[in-house]
Structure 1
Amino acid sequence: MDGLENNAVILSEGANISDIGPRLNKLLSNGWQLTPDKKGVTKCFYFPTYTKVMDFAFCIGIRSKRANHHSTLTMKSGSVEVTWTTHVPPGLSMKDTKMADYCDDVAKTTVISVHQTESLKCGTPSKA
């Protein structure tokens, strides 16, 4: 799906579609989705242990503080759902796409995410 077809995405005031468009399409091809209001992006990452869930959330938190741009994180026993949107002015901004890229990098190189079927579920023994 092309995130720009039919002007589906709502950009933050001052955001440039020519800069964000290619980045958004890359994110969408990597499993990110537009939020229902079309003002942000969201993705669920899966991990084999709760400790890895916390490690991932901690990495995102540290980078968020440094960038002064904060996500919505929903943590479960084997997953973290991350949503990026800009609140003022509302819409998708370059900061959102950069932070989403960072999440993908951390999940691949630092914390090591897994397929959903390999994630820890409540009540199942830890693999690590």
Structure 2
Amino acid sequence: MTNLTTEKCSACHDGAPRATEEEIAELKPHIPDWNIVEEEGEQRLQRSYNFPDFKTALAFTNSIGDAAEEVGHHPALLTEWGKVTVTWWTHAISGLHRNDFIMASRTDDIVSKFTQKN
């Protein structure tokens, strides 16, 4: 299995192809704790992370925001007391792209480093 965390996100534009069912089946095992949900008729990747307090949850949210800015690919982030829900999908194509799986993997990597520090 390749490590999605080390892959680069590719530029995605209107009309770019969505991930096929075969691609999703190949990529999903790399991020086993993520769920594929449907919202507003679009497939999205979603996962919630638990933290001991709001301050830690907010710091994690900011770390995800920094990673998103680096690649120009932005998730929906819901930060609550002790919990952050992250949702990745590609707005330009109203669905899933390989970039979403890459960023989900990076999110898991960030939380793993984050929890080691605290």
Length-normalised TM-score, structure 2? 0.73
Counterpart pick for 2:82 among 78, 81, 91 = 78
Structure 2: which 5+ residue stretches go unaligned?
Answer: 1-14
Specify every segment of 5 or more residues in structure 1 that has no aligned partner in the other structure, as ranges.
1-11, 113-127
TM-score normalised by L of structure 1: 0.68
Q: Between Structure 1 and Structure 2, whose CA radius of gyration is higher?
A: 1
In 2, Cα distance between equivalents of 1:103 and 1:69: 12
Deviation at 1:49, TM superposition (A): 2.0
Secondary structure in 1 matching 2:85: strand
- Alignment deviations for residues 31-83 of structure 1 (CA, whole Å, 9 cap, x no partner): 21111245111000001122210111011000111111110011110000000
2:17 aligned partner: 14
CA-based RMSD of the aligned residues comes to 2.1
| TM-aligned CA deviation for residue 15 of structure 1 | 4.2
How far apart, CA to CA, are the structure 2 residues paired with 1:109 and 1:19?
28
Q: What amino acid sits opposite 1:55 in the alignment?
A: A
Query: Distance in 2 between the 1:111 and 1:58 partners?
Result: 14
Give the Cα–Cα distance (whole angstroms) in 2 for the partners of residues 108 and 15 of structure 1. Answer: 29
